[in-house]
Amino acid sequence: MKYKADTRKKTPDLRVVKSSIGAIEMKKNEQTIMLFAADPGGANSIAVLSNYLQKQNYNTVLFARDITLKHLKNKGYKNVTLLDDNINQYDIQSIESLISPYDPSLLVTSTTGRDFIERTTWLVGNKLNVPTVAILDQWMNYSLRFLKQHYLHQHKNEYALDEYILPSSIIVMDESAKLAMVQEGLPHNIIHPLGCPYFDNLKQKAKRNKLIKRDTVNILFASEPITKIYGNKLGRNIHGYTEKTILRVLCEHIQALDKKRKIKLIIKPHPRESSKRYSEFLAKFDFTLICKERSVLDSFKHSDIVFGMSSTVLLEATIFNKPTLSLHLGSNKKSTYLLEQLNKTEAIRKRYKLTAVIKNLLTKQLTPYNQQIELTSGSACHEITKHIAKLIKLHN
């Protein structure tokens, strides 16, 4: 590889990074933005933004964890570089050695709970005097995404600033998310409600869907990897339930009430999950099956209503005019579901209310579960790009 002299440091004139999907060519003398996506959910907005930045003549390099890379590949994204799972996510030097050769003007990350790669990236950015931007994709678990240690998460109302690791700037979906984060002790001056790139992109694809006539009522259950990420104990402590406690109660109600087997329950595992995690349900309940569709949008075509806890799939379904229902059975925790936070709907917490829902479905009464709400601004990528340009200018 040839190197060209530079007044600051030596950098590759042309660097080709190979991945299992494709290759990225980095040309010198262009502003390079590196993007990191550890979680499939957060990757949705990161990938949309990366494409938009390329159209604005930025050089982008998108790194993703293995499961996230596969998720993006299924969505048609090609220029994604594998972020080796063996890299030490806590080691600043390891992440710095990954970042430095690109001489980036800015670093963009998603946010997750357990994966520490984003927080270490922010620390590296601070060390290299490179601005960092974190983009949220959900209205929940704000503190967990920034805490130095997960055991600090004791459902306090507010955390001290020194309990967090923070980027230069945090992009959130709307003012309600910013308010909630400020209430948890995150500094208001670095939080910017600029919208959600993925939802904007989704809205452009959405068309009013007509229900397909069929003999059964198909429920799509959008799972979340609560126990996989947090374990059973911490997961229940945070949410008041796990994906399996919710699914078990749902299956038991369908089995008891649907004697003629009019309902099919299609389980859609989260991209982080294996379908094998649900083999016990397939074996015990003959009306359950695993969703075969890779795309969330394709899975909507085969469903009449979408159930979940707080998954963004519920919000995606709302954008696509699908009836939705949030299940928080057994929980007395503060709601993590956006539409309930906005008083647009009420999550099901009591079993007798779930009984009423199942009875409605058996008579194909779906209208009560239609939600009408505007979740997108339509200009998220444009606003974020303007914000990014300002950050880069301030650091030059």
Per residue in 111-133, pLDDT tens? 987 789 999 999 999 999 999 99
Higher pLDDT, 88 or 336: 88
With respect to residue 164, please indicate whether it lies within any of the assigned structural domains: yes
CA distances, 16 to each of 2, 58, 73, 142 (Å)? 12, 16, 19, 36
Higher pLDDT, 109 or 2: 109
- Whether 345 and 391 map to the same domain: the answer is no
How many structural domains is the chain composed of?
A: 2
With respect to residue 202, please indicate whether it lies within any of the assigned structural domains: no
- Whether 269 and 217 map to the same domain: the answer is yes
Lowest mean pLDDT among 24-28, 189-193, 229-233, 245-249: 24-28
- Whether 183 and 241 map to the same domain: the answer is no
CATH value at residue 96: 3.40.50.2000
With respect to residue 112, please indicate whether it lies within any of the assigned structural domains: yes
- pLDDT, average across residues 6-12: 36
- Whether 146 and 93 map to the same domain: the answer is yes
- Whether 19 and 70 map to the same domain: the answer is yes
Task: Find the domain containing 166 and state its range.
Answer: 3-196+377-395
- Whether 239 and 178 map to the same domain: the answer is no
Largest separation between any pair of C-alpha atoms in the chain: 76
Higher pLDDT, 111 or 373: 111
- Whether 160 and 103 map to the same domain: the answer is yes
Lowest mean pLDDT among 131-135, 253-257, 285-289, 312-316: 312-316
- pLDDT, average across residues 87-94: 93
With respect to residue 201, please indicate whether it lies within any of the assigned structural domains: no
- Whether 340 and 230 map to the same domain: the answer is yes
- Whether 113 and 216 map to the same domain: the answer is no
pTM above 0.85, yes or no: no
- By the 10 Å C-beta count (0-12 exposed, 13-18 middle, 19+ buried), 174 is classed as middle
- pLDDT, average across residues 201-218: 73
- Whether 363 and 386 map to the same domain: the answer is no
Is the pLDDT confidence value at 134 over 60?
yes
